[in-house]
Amino acid sequence: MIASVPQSGSDERQPLLGRSQDPSTEQGSWFYRARRAPVAVACVVAMALFTDMVVYGVVVPILPIIVKERLGGSSSDVGLLFACYAIGLLASTPFFAIMSDKYQNRRIPMMVGMLGLAVATVGFSLASNYWVLILARIGQGSAGGASWTIGLGMLADVYPPNNLGVVMGATMMANSIGFMLGPVVGAYFYEYHGYNAPFIFCAGLATLDFLCIVFLAEPEKKKHPASASATSATADLGLEEAGESSTGTSKSRQQVMDEDVDNLSIEEAPTTSTIVAVERTVAAISDPKHAQEILDDGLHHHHHPHPHPSTHKHQQDDDANNTSANRVSHETGYGSIPGGSSSSSSASSLSSESAPSSVDSDPTPEEKESEEACRDVSMLEIASNWTIICCLLATFVAASVFSGLEPILPLYLKDSLEAGPLETGLILIAAICPTLLSSAIGYAADRVGHFYVSLAGMVIFAIGTFALCLPRSLLLFILPLALFGFGSSMILTPLLPAMADVVNKNGWNCYAKTYALYNMTYSLSMAAGPILAGFIYDDFGFPWTMAMFGFMIVLATPVIFGPQITHVMAKWRRGSVFARS
């Protein structure tokens, strides 16, 4: 009876407190729930990425014409203007990340970024000289840093790991749709409604997104338990080999690492889920503090195994799996690089994800050792790993060639084929559509091997690049552009999981540093590609520009994928190219 009195009193007082507040802030009201609903966060982030890519794509078919016809600039001026977006993106990304971490707020940086995007877009309509366009383009890139850095972190805050992959897929679909619609929308408004129309439309879209962010409440970070569905997914993808790869339990970490290096050219099919790879990527890139929480949870899981029904058939290998897990101190769902020891990585993922975490226990010696190891690993040390170098080089080649096409294709289509902005925007859809196949490419990479899918993409990318030298009509551009876009997606999609697998096997646990290297490389390539393409186009024309890009791809391929090429050729000679190793 005594214990029930405070509870009763609390129940009676709560409605009085609720009635004294504004109805819109009352916890039971629909408005209160709507502002804090995870689906509202997902919709706002999806709209932010959609808006960012629409604004990015709107200028692709019209900016080259504006620079050359209105301002009397050259092709190299067009390339520099396109590169300024990447410069702004590279400069703003760490600023927004630090701002969000320091003040523990994601909503305000998102509002600042979207408001800045609207202002920068209006700047295009007011530009009377080339340097104003430069500032407006840098402003667009800087605003994009908020959408990518803060927006993806908001998703990781409110969604549990077992749902995050699905949400990320839908969000990135909005991004791809925006990238496809941007050139068409920009060309349509420019051709039928005048110079200012596309920029006014984009400024209005950014303002609408700003109001949606204002409506949203500050997302609350939620600590989510380990995902049972992710565990089931990893088990279904073939963790039967885990016990075989973990038999040498007395091996030191250095011995295991040496064996991984020695086996670089041996193909092993990855056995983990791409969806979980997206989850860990988002957590690591978007919020280093959240990444550290995931790291701590993963470490604790290794010491408190809790079997899941879907992994019952692997229980006889628990001891071996846990031993293998001790050298991988962060749970991931990334597939392995062909030639690496994928089974041990998968075993550690299984043992770590199949247990709920306990946040109250003191750090174990193993946890402290892992945290110290992460702090001791510098970005320079990560960047000196040969496999990481290959991933970054592949990223630079693919992204620089793709971004190099954007400023010169509209110029070539107008000069040689008399195509207007609308025709150019429609033709560009052929290169962008293959990005919608990223999920299927990721699934294939998990099954076949990350570097093998990237190698196939490099071949298709080179074919598409050389083929762009040939067409003499608009319709004949469609197939080469489709090959070009599909090859680019095949190269880039498997690289993030491949880099994570290297970090995983070396026990570095420094995912944020690794993906910072990736983001820096991608941004630099987006800056270098348009500048290089503009200068080559001025002196040699479009066909020779694409031919030089094609030769660059051909020369880089054996450097990046040497072990994979050697292995494929050996299997070809044995007549077993399609047989699993």
- The DSSP code sequence of 383-430 is HTSHHHHHHHHHHHHHHHHHHHHHHHHHHHHHHHH---HHHHHHHHHH
Residue 374 pLDDT level (bands cut at 50, 70, 90): low
> Contact 61/410 with Cβ under 8 angstroms?
yes
What is the per-residue pLDDT across 458-487, written as a single tens digit (0 to 9) for each?
999 999 999 999 888 888 899 999 999 999
What is the per-residue pLDDT across 49-60, written as a single tens digit (0 to 9) for each?
899 889 988 988
Q: Kindly list the structural domains of the chain, giving each domain's residue range(s) and its CATH number in brackets, ordered by start.
A: 33-221+384-574 (1.20.1250.20), 228-247+259-358 (no CATH)
Residue with the larger pLDDT of the pair 438 and 103 = 438
Kindly tell me if the per-residue pLDDT of 228 is higher than 50: no
Task: Select from 398, 423, 336 the least CA-distant residue to 525.
Answer: 398
Residue 344, H or E segment: helix 342-353
Task: For residues 362-386, give the mean pLDDT.
Answer: 66
> Contact 42/174 with Cβ under 8 angstroms?
no
Kindly tell me if the per-residue pLDDT of 317 is higher than 60: no
pLDDT of residue 342: 34
pLDDT of residue 151: 74
CA–CA distance, 129 with 32 (Å, rounded to integer): 47
Q: What is the mean pLDDT of the chain?
A: 71
Alpha carbon 182 to chain centroid distance? 20
Residue 155 pLDDT level (bands cut at 50, 70, 90): confident
What is the per-residue pLDDT across 513-547, written as a single tens digit (0 to 9) for each?
777 788 788 889 989 999 999 999 988 999 999 99
Task: For residues 323-345, give the mean pLDDT.
Answer: 33
What is the per-residue pLDDT across 10-50, written as a single tens digit (0 to 9) for each?
444 444 344 444 444 556 677 777 787 888 888 888 898 89
pLDDT of residue 548: 95
CA–CA distance, 26 with 45 (Å, rounded to integer): 25
The runs of H, that is alpha helices, within 104-196 are 107-126, 130-158, 161-193
Place of tokens 């910072």: 516
> Contact 562/568 with Cβ under 8 angstroms?
no
Residue 456 pLDDT level (bands cut at 50, 70, 90): very high
How is residue 3 annotated by DSSP? T
